[in-house]
Chains A and B, each alone.
Chain A
Amino acid sequence: MDPSQIQLNKEGRLKHFLTTEGLSKEILSEIIDTANSFISTQERSVKTVPLLRGKTVVNLFFENSTRTRSTFELAAKRLSANILNLDIASSATSKGETLMDTLWNLESMYSDMFVVRHADSGAAHFIAQHVTPNVAVINAGDGRHAHPTQAMLDMLTIHREKSGFENLSVAIVGDILHSRVARSQIYALKTLGCHDVRVIGPNTLIPKDIESLGVRAFNNMKSGLKGVDVVIMLRLQKERMQTALLPSESEYYRLYGLNTEKLAYANHDAIVMHPGPINRGVEIESAVADGPQSVILKQVSNGIPMRMAVMAMAMGGQNQEQALLEQDQEGAK
């Protein structure tokens, strides 16, 4: 099954959010516009809307992540949903229970939505394929494959700062090989009309055949950042030094760390982004992270409206599908 078609109901509305790959420009734009509309609700004193009232959202995090999990939790609460946090990383599956069994056990809890983070690429798809109908699945990150909510909040940020994707030049710098965020960002940027998407890093951190995604690969910051409007820095995990991927932190920082000097290779009004958490002095200099071109904090604040938007849209799509199904059954009688 085409991995993206599983995300849409019969009317073409979003019912799961697993990957940005394969979603149309219309749907991605709708996600951005909807998230934009949620921003004003976050600025007033009553931050909740009643959309998911009475619904139960379950956070299924097989990989630890306090940050992402708490933004999803907050987003669910602001949609008036009930939220349940399941830290499976430390419980059943580590005792050998299969993913399938974990799912079946959860089904009896009658949840309406699962937010899933898992170490295996394709895990969110697997869950969406095997979950009871009418349960929406939101991918909070699966292996190296996708982190679509992060990518979309990055798109929302770019949209608000730069208004439009067509004439933009975007560079993603760092460990592309292991990055699910990078893959989701690349698909979203290409679909939204960005023609110049680049990845910058040493060969060992750039996956084979990355050009098949429609991006250009650079080993050099100077040539890679020339003419760029958006610089997205990726986090470098310390473990990469141990597995024969990189010589040392200092060599990495010297070549790819974003400091004021390197930022000057990009356009003078370029914005600096980072999905977080930041490793100061490893991939980015504090002066840049806290500087005037950085929109990192705006990314963080866009996180909740974006997650509210996809959760609302997916729940809506599931509701609509169920209503249509009931209508069909009525008609058949």
Chain B
Amino acid sequence: MTVKDAGRAARPAGRAPAKRSPAGDPGQQADSPELIQLLTPEGERVEHPDYPLEISAEELKSLYRDLVIVRRIDFEAIALQRQGELGIWASLLGQEAAQVGSGRALTPRDMAFPTYREHGVAWCRGLDPMKLLELFRGVSHGGWDPTEHNFHLYTIVIGSQTLHATGYAMGIQRDGAVGEDGEAVIVYFGDGATSQGDVNEAFIWASVNNSPVVFFCQNNQWAISEPLERQSRVPLYQRAHGFGFPGVRVDGNDVLACLAVTRKAMQAAREGQGPTMIEAFTYRMGAHTTTDDPTRYRLSAELEAWKLKDPIERVKQYLIRSQQAEMSFFDEVEAEATRVGARVRAACLEMPDPEPLSMFDDVLTEETRQLAAERAGFAAYLDSFVGEEVAR
């Protein structure tokens, strides 16, 4: 399924959604002067006085490669779900630039707190995509060590991770790790999450403590079926001002703008200037998850309009027009993406189920006697069935 097919994935069932979201209309706020952009949808390079960006051809091609591979993994995962290999998948289709741009702005020592859709950030951090598939296949709840790639586990409760990130940033302060070479935290959340109490509490804590945390909001215009106007009367980036720290809106489909804005905000945090909110103005091209049916609540015309702002297409156009890449480069990237997709597929199909007794592992740092007894009892129970071998 390519981007062009995304809109054909589901035909409207003949029922118009209740209302059309003005916030989702790319024609409106996207033109407002506050939307930071460095690469137009047509692939033209533009400058912004606050965000000078020097970027080499190699870096550009590398970003392009990231975008394509991230989209390919996402596509493969949707297909796997449609084939019954994953229970569910939350697609990032359309949000690749926001995630890759911000993800590549981080230094290795920065810490990232995702929600459950940041597969592109996971890619940038070097986390094995199979760990994500494990979660959606039901093999684990994530199960990776956050310190290995400085990428926290996926948090499914909406907005909770903003507090974790803020607390982590408070820890950085107490470690004295704030400074030019310091560390900072980025936390991801969506437009819907900005309504959650925890997110607002995080804004309070980060601001009164002046903590080194960047709040990266991917405003993809929809929280399942609810459009932005159900979440806020004001543009989201302006919320930060109410809490006393800067907020900025960036074109979430512009990988260069996301890169530049995030770099600057992270550096400010590192140096002790406190939090920033970045609102990446983007669009959720797919469904909320594979169990969602967007045709029930939004018009395909909206989708069609956003297709014209595809994050990957504009980078390709720019690379071609500026002659920073040969056509063979695009073929190579495509081939590599196909290989990656096939590997993801193969690894998913081979993924074994966890052993039943592993259910009892890692509840506490020291197993209680009660749990040990339950574990033993369950092992004996499993063993009592004809033909069943007790797992080790």
* A, B in one complex: no
